[in-house]
C-alpha cells in the first residue's frame, strides 16, 4: 500500500519539557503525519519526573532510561542524538519531531535536514533561537497549548507582512495569482517559528485578512491573497495628476512630487493595488503622460 502520511520519530527531552504539553505535542504531529516512534528520555530514578508517569502510559510513549553519570552533564541529550541517528539510518521515517527547549539539539536538527528529513521542533518560549532556526518548523508549546506568549520572542508581524507583500508583488509581476497555500508554505520555510496562533488567529486565511494591506478572495474552490482594492478609480487618479501638472505648467521635475500629491488626495493610495510594483510603471500605463528620466509631462503640452 502506498505510504500517504509522513512518518515521524517523536523524541522528547523530559529534562526540558513539562508533561502538561503531551497532548498538544501529539496533536501537532498528527496534523503533519503519523508518529511511528514515540520515545521520551530522562533519568526516571529522579523524583522530579514523577509527573511524566501517567502521561507516558496514556500516550504509549516509550521511556528511555538515561542515568546522570556526571553532575552538570546532560546525558539525556547524548542518548537522544544517538537514537536519532540510528533511526535516520534505518530509513523508516520521513521526519523527526524533537521536543526540547535546549539549544544542544541545534546541530542534530541541521544534520537531519542535510539528509532530507523534515524536522519539526517544539519547545517552550525560552528555547534559544539557534535551535528554532535550525528546524523546518518550530512550535512554541505555550502557544499550541493556548497559553500566553511574549510577542517580542517571535518573528514580528512587520517581517511577516513584508514577506507576504514580496510574494504577492512577485506574482503580480509574473501575471499570476497568489494562493493561500503558497503563502503559508513560503512563510513556514522563511520563518521556522511562524504560526498564526502566535498572533491570536486559528486560520491562515483570517490571519492574512487581518494584515493591513491584503484581502483574501475565493475563486471556485481556491482562496487567493491579493492587495486590497481601493475605492479610487484609475480615471480619478489620472484626472488628479492632470490637474496637478496643469497647475505646475504642464510638468514636474521630480516624480516623487506626483506621488506625494496622490497620497494627499487619496491617503490609501498604493500602486500595488493596481497590479504594479513601481510608481513609474504605474504612471507609464496612462496615455496622458510622458516620462523623461524623472520628469513627468502632459503629452499634449509636450506635443503642442
What are the backbone angles phi and psi of residue 267, rounded to the nearest 5°? -55, -30
The pTM score is 0.61
**Same domain, yes or no: 65 and 135:** yes
**Same domain, yes or no: 137 and 163:** no
Has residue 253 been placed in a domain?
yes
**Same domain, yes or no: 38 and 141:** yes
**Same domain, yes or no: 33 and 113:** yes
Has residue 183 been placed in a domain?
yes
**Same domain, yes or no: 144 and 163:** no
Q: Which helix (H) or strand (E) holds 188?
A: helix 180-190
Contact 279, 267 (CB under 8 A): no
Taking the C-alpha atoms of residue 135 and residue 121, their distance in angstroms, rounded to an integer, is 6
> Which of 9-18, 69-78, 138-147, 283-292 comes out lowest in average pLDDT?
69-78
Across the range 219-243, mean pLDDT stands at: 85
Has residue 130 been placed in a domain?
yes
**Same domain, yes or no: 15 and 137:** yes
**Same domain, yes or no: 173 and 89:** no
**Same domain, yes or no: 31 and 118:** yes
**Same domain, yes or no: 14 and 136:** yes
Has residue 271 been placed in a domain?
yes
Q: Three cell numbers at 242?
A: 492632470
Final residue belonging to a domain, choices 200, 227, 254: 227
Across the range 71-83, mean pLDDT stands at: 73
pLDDT bin (cut points 50, 70, 90) of residue 243 is very high
Has residue 1 been placed in a domain?
no
**Same domain, yes or no: 208 and 260:** no
Q: How many domains does the structure of the chain reveal?
A: 3
Taking the C-alpha atoms of residue 156 and residue 116, their distance in angstroms, rounded to an integer, is 29
pLDDT tens across 111-143, in order?
999 999 999 999 998 899 999 999 999 999 988
Which residue matches cell numbers 517544539? 122
> Using the 8-state DSSP alphabet, how is residue 229 labeled?
P
pLDDT bin (cut points 50, 70, 90) of residue 275 is low
**Same domain, yes or no: 173 and 288:** no
Taking the C-alpha atoms of residue 260 and residue 263, their distance in angstroms, rounded to an integer, is 5
Amino acid at each position: 500500500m502506498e505510504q500517504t502520511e509522513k512518518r515521524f520519530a517523536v523524541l522528547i527531552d523530559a529534562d526540558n519539557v513539562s508533561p502538561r504539553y503531551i497532548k498538544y505535542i501529539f496533536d501537532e504531529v498528527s496534523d503533519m503525519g503519523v508518529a511511528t516512534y514515540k520515545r521520551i528520555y530522562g533519568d526516571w530514578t529522579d523524583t522530579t519526573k514523577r509527573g511524566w508517569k501517567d502521561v507516558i502510559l496514556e500516550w504509549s510513549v516509550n521511556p528511555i532510561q538515561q542515568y546522570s553519570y556526571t553532575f552538570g552533564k546532560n546525558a539525556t541529550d547524548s542518548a537522544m542524538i544517538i537514537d536519532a541517528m540510528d533511526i535516520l539510518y534505518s530509513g523508516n521515517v520521513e521526519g523527526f519531531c524533537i521536543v526540547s527547549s535546549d539549544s544542544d539539539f541545534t546541530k542534530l536538527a541541521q544534520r537531519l535536514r542535510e539528509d532530507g528529513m523534515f524536522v519539526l521542533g517544539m519547545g517552550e518560549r525560552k528555547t534559544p533561537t539557534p535551535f528554532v532556526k535550525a528546524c523546518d518548523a518550530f512550535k512554541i508549546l505555550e502557544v499550541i497549548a493556548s497559553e500566553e506568549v511574549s510577542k517580542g520572542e517571535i518573528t514580528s508581524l512587520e517581517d511577516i507582512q513584508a514577506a507576504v507583500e514580496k510574494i504577492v508583488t512577485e506574482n503580480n509581476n509574473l501575471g499570476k495569482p497568489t494562493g493561500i497555500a503558497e503563502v503559508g508554505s513560503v512563510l513556514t520555510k522563511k520563518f521556522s517559528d511562524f504560526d498564526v496562533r502566535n498572533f491570536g488567529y486559528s486560520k491562515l486565511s483570517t490571519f492574512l485578512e487581518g494584515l493591513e494591506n491584503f484581502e483574501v478572495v475565493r475563486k471556485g474552490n481556491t482562496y487567493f491573497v491579493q492587495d486590497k482594492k481601493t475605492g479610487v478609480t484609475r480615471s480619478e487618479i489620472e484626472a488628479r495628476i492632470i490637474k496637478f501638472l496643469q497647475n505646475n505648467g504642464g510638468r514636474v521635475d521630480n516624480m516623487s512630487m506626483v506621488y506625494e500629491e496622490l497620497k494627499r488626495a487619496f491617503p490609501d493610495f498604493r500602486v500595488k493595488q493596481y497590479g504594479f510594483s513601481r510608481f513609474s510603471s504605474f504612471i507609464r500605463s496612462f496615455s496622458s503622460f510622458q516620462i523623461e528620466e524623472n520628469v513627468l509631462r502632459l503629452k499634449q503640452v509636450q506635443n503642442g
